Every structure is written in C-alpha cells, then in structure tokens.
Amino acid sequence: MEYLIGEFSLVARLSVKTLRFYHEEGLLLPSRIDAVTGYRYYDEAAAGRAAAIRELRALGFSLDAIKEILSRCEDDEDIVPYLERRGEEIASEIEDSRATQRMIQEFLERQKEIQGMNVDRNIVIKELPELTVAGIRFKGKYDQVGKYFGPLMKRAGKYALSGPMTIYHDREYRDEDADIEVCVPVRKALNEGELASHPLAGGRAVTLIHQGPYDTISDSYRKIGAYIKDCGLRASVPSREIYIKGPGLIFMGNPKKYLTEIQVIAVHVDDEASRAS
Amino acid sequence: MEYLIGEFSLVARLSVKTLRFYHEEGLLLPSRIDAVTGYRYYDEAAAGRAAAIRELRALGFSLDAIKEILSRCEDDEDIVPYLERRGEEIASEIEDSRATQRMIQEFLERQKEIQGMNVDRNIVIKELPELTVAGIRFKGKYDQVGKYFGPLMKRAGKYALSGPMTIYHDREYRDEDADIEVCVPVRKALNEGELASHPLAGGRAVTLIHQGPYDTISDSYRKIGAYIKDCGLRASVPSREIYIKGPGLIFMGNPKKYLTEIQVIAVHVDDEASRAS
DNA sequence: CTTGACCCTCCAGCGGCTGGAGGGTGGAAG
DNA sequence: CTTCCACCCTCCAGCCGCTGGAGGGTCAAG
C-alpha cells in the first residue's frame, strides 16, 4: 500500500509541507522516491513512525529530541526516562507561568484597590495606629527619594503591609539637606545594611490628599498648615506622605493624576501645654 | 546625563545587542545619535521606557504588544485590560501544559504497572469476575483487530477500567470471517454507533501469558487446549485475549516482547453434564 | 604608535514550520 | 487536441526575539 504525499498527509495527519520538511530533516523518510517525477511515496511503516512523531510532538518534544528518541528506542518502555525528564521540564514551565500569573494578579489587585478608593479632596481627620516601619533615612533633596524605593522594596517588599511612604523628620521645610526617611510598614522589624526598623507613633492626624505632581505639593502643605493653625492645633514631627498613586510600576504615568496623602499628626496647643506643665 | 550603549546596557539591564535590536524595531530609541560616529546615546527617559519594556517582557508580552501598550498607555491603570487578557492567555497555556503533563503521567503509570507485573509463563487458573464491557463486534480476520482499537478507545477510553481485550466468540479457529469483538471493561454501559456494551460472564479460567508476536499465538492456544483436555475440562466460549504488552502507544515495539494473556473459561465435563441433565 | 575597549553595520542562524512563486505531470472534460 | 484542474516538485522568504560573528571605525591610555 503506497500513498502519495497528499494522501499520506491525511493518514498521518501532518501537513504536506510538514512531511516535506520532516523528509528534509531526515526525521521521516518516504519509503520510495520516484526517480523521474521526484514524487514521494509513503507506506504503512512510515505511517507508524508518523504517528509516533505526532504523539511525541504533542508532548512537546523538539524534533531533535524526537530524532534521538526514535533512534534509541524501539519500545514504549524505553522512552520512560525521556518522558520523566520532559515531565519535569513542563513542571518548571508551569511554575514559571504561575509566577508570572501571580505578578499580574498582584498588579491587578493593587490597581483595583486604588480604583476602589474614594478620594476625598478635603482635609480629613484620621486616627493613625502605631506602625512598625522599615526604612532608609538620609539627608538630601526631596527628589532623591525615588532612588531609595528600589532597594527598599527589594529588601522589605516581602514583609510590607502596604505601600511605601516618606517620613519628614524636619520641623520646617529644607531645600537641601532635608532629613528624609523612605519607608514601608512591615509585619516584623527588619534591619539590614542601611535598612532600619523602628516604631512610628500613631495619633490624631490632619490629612489631605494632594493631586498633581510633587513639585506642587507645597500648596497642599500650606492648606494643612492653615487648617492646623485655624483649629488651634500644633503640628508634630514627623509628618508623612503616602504615595497612593505615583509613577507606576511600569509607566511614569501622568503627574497630574498623582495622588499623595499628606498626614500630619497634630495636637491641641492647650493639651500640649498642659502635658508640658 | 547621557549613556553610551554599553553603559546604558547596565542601567537598563538589556544586552547591547538587544538595545540595538529595539532601536531597529523602533521600540526604544536612543535620545541622540552622533551623526559622525553613529554612536547611540541614551538618557534617563530611555531608562524609564527600558524598565517598562523589561517588565512587560517578563510578563510575556510580545514586542508588538509592548509597542501597542507603550503607545496607548501612559499610566499603570491603562494597562489593566492588557494584563487581564494576558492573564487569561497564561491560564490557558498552563491548562495546556497540565493536559500534557497528565498524558505523560498516565503513560508513566501504565508503564510502571506493566513493569511491576510479575509474569508467570505457566498456565495459571484464575477466577474471573463478571465484567461490563463496551466493544465493537465484527466478522473478519484477526489482523483487522488493530483498526478497531482507535475508535474504541476514543469513545470508551474515558470510562475504561483497564486495557483493551479481544473476545473470540467462535468455538473453533476460523481464518476468515472470525466472530471477533474488540472491547474494554467499562465503569458503566455505553452504547453509541457500532459501540455496544454488555455483561461478560466470569468464572474459573485457564490462563496463559503468551510471549512473542501474534502470529505465533496458536502455540499457546495449543498448550491451553492440551491442558484443558488433560484435566478433563471443557473450554467454553467466548475466550479472551488481554494485551498486556503489544505495539505501544508510540512504538511498534519488539514483537518478541509482546505479552498477551489468553483466558479460556473452562468447566469440568461432569459439572457440565450434571448441569445439562 | 600601539593596544585594547568600545562602538558601528550587516548577515546568518535558532525551531518548526507556513506561504508563495514558478514549474512539471497526469487525467478528465470539452 | 487543447484546456483545465488537481496534484506534485524545488527553492526562497518570513515568523519571533534575539544571539553570534565578521569586518571595520573610534577613543583614551600607555
């Protein structure tokens, strides 16, 4: 029983192109080639080999691997070691895919969280809990903050309870040499190299969500300052900025859409006075 | 701040080759190209874009997809739909991989089962349970059996309790026109087209495992026949052949290693006589 | 002036095919 | 006898995301 390539293509369930390619590769040879026309003819034995090739391809073996398997094995039991190795390969591929999927999931969840937040553009009074934060403290200019986020998240990311924030330890504004701490709330204290953990006191805070690029944030600070003064309060250090929405993980994003929550813990002047006495 | 391509390669964590390739593709353009030397120079903005590209590549996006994403999105929230779709893609890739893995697993388990079987080359008396089998019955020659296995396993494979077998309904040997049923034990009766299910009676059977190609199986039948006669038993129809090891799923295998168990249910002549009376 | 570390362009190759151009063959229909 | 169609052939390009190498220019240090 002899087949022309087109007929054999139906039997073997491999395209004519693929059959010619496998011939060229020496993977599946026709049983006979007509010397005059150059036509390829295939037989039953070729059909068996073709079926084996199809099966092995379906299991994800490369053509080279299949060549090796077909040359080395003549019985199903001989391919057991190949299948075992292939199984492990697939397992690790799956593991990789799942890791990628987890990354996507986390990203989407974070995004959803941000989306779901209803943003109040007014001043809000909040009771802040005490936190343990792990951070890197340095003296410098505001725009150096960005450089510290990478190392911070790399080391503390696993233990982070929420997104990163910046703590300003100065009582007043400083252009150069500001005392800045880039940090993140963590589950457990963590000290390693420049990274240091410490408790961060809670309390009643005046908060405001600033929308726009960071270089306009002083407007929002002014609002908070005015509010604090009007209410007869007094700002205590340190103050914090929480990055609700900043330059994304992937994009710089549009600075006009950046959202930064400013939190300044404030106490009544009389309370302070009475406590001081 | 300007980088030569080699320096930028460290910043961007992309190989020089890749950077040149991305340039050619229009995916990541240098900020400036020296008209005289042709040197590429990159800046901070390019570093940002490079980081985005790296992230997206790590999530498995194609360069084309990345081009589209970078041209359409300018904020992390814009890529949510892309990530969602990508997540689904990955999920289906994982599903495919798992299907492949299951196939490999099943194959390995079957192999192990066969390996683990201790093969007794002598005549063995077994008590066979009653079974429900789904099979295709036809009249023809022995070597047509092979053709029916494919369709059989395709339809009944899901419900199969064990490997396929052949039932011979003739009392004596027939070369042409034998009454043959290719079947498989199933969990539940199953009727569809040529596929029909029915119970298969159990009983005390004389069994022998035949090793070698099918065309020598008559030797083993002779042995069984002789044994039955010697013991004063009488063979009842149908008899069965169980393919312990035959042409594999992938390889034809070595016919000398084929193992086929012949099972002939036999009763004492006196029992039969007494029952007949 | 040489050395060596950069940089450039251009081309080939990986794997596993697919598509198409350009041409031959064989049988049936008009 | 021509024409058509369905086959078959070979050879080359293209997909994707790079990588490697050949062959050559550039730049700063020794």
pLDDT, residue A275, reads 54
**B181: nearest Cα among B162, B159, B200:** B200
Reference B134, options B202, B60, B38, B199; nearest CA is B199
pLDDT at B177: 86
Q: Closest partner residue to A83 among B91, B104, B253, by Cβ?
A: B104
Could you give the CA distance from residue A156 to residue A164 in angstroms, rounded to a whole number? Answer: 10
Confidence at residue B102, expressed as pLDDT on a 0 to 100 scale:
96
What's the whole-number mean pLDDT along residues A104-130?
Answer: 86
Chain B residue at shortest CA distance from A80: B108
For the stretch B44-99, pLDDT in tens is: 999 999 999 999 999 999 999 999 999 998 888 889 999 999 999 999 999 999 99
D10 C1' – B255 CA distance, angstroms?
A: 40
pLDDT at site B198: 93
Q: CA angle A260-A261-A265, nearest 5°?
A: 145
Distance CA A189, CA A196 (A): 8
CA distance B120 to chain A (A): 20
Contact call for B104 and A111, based on CB within 8 A:
no
* Interface touch B80/A111, C-beta < 8 Å: yes
Q: What is the mean pLDDT of residues B247-276?
A: 76
Helix (H) or strand (E) holding A168: strand A165-168
pLDDT at B152: 81
> pLDDT tens across B69-80, in order?
999 988 888 899
If one counts every other C-beta atom within 10 angstroms of the C-beta of residue A31, the result is 14
Domains and CATH numbers, chain B: 3-72 (1.10.1660.10), 124-276 (3.20.80.10)
Extract the tokens encoding A153. Answer: 């998240």
Q: Which residue is nearest to nucleotide D16 (CA to C1')?
A: B62
Partner residue facing B59 (CB), from A80, A86, A100: A100
Mean pLDDT of B12-41: 96
Better pLDDT: A68 or A245:
A68
At A46-77, the pLDDT tens digits run 999 999 999 999 999 999 999 999 999 888 88
- What is the reported pLDDT for B272? 56
- B277 has pLDDT over 60: no
CB contact under 8 A, B101 and A93: no
Chain C nucleotides with an atom closer than 7 Å to a protein C-beta: 6-9, 15-19, 25-26
Are the beta carbons of B197 and B136 closer than 8 angstroms? no
The region of weakest confidence among A25-34, A230-239, B12-21, B113-122 is: B113-122
Whole-number average pLDDT of chain B: 89
Q: What is the pLDDT of residue B5?
A: 97
The percentage of residues in chain A with a pLDDT greater than 90, rounded to a whole number, is 57
State the pLDDT at residue B213: 87
pLDDT value at residue A272:
56
Nearest CA in chain A to B88: A101
pLDDT of B212 > 80? The answer is: yes
pLDDT digits (tens, 9 = 90+) for A128-166: 999 999 999 999 888 888 788 878 888 888 888 888 899
Chain B residue closest to A108 (CA)? Answer: B80
Interface of A with B in 109-148 (CB under 8 A): 111, 114-115
For residue A274, the model assigns a pLDDT of 56
Tell me the mean pLDDT in the region A166-173. Answer: 86
Assess A1–B contact: CB distance below 8 Å, yes or no.
no
Q: Are A73 and B101 a contacting pair at CB < 8 A?
A: no
Question: pLDDT-derived band of residue B245, with 50, 70 and 90 as boundaries?
Answer: confident
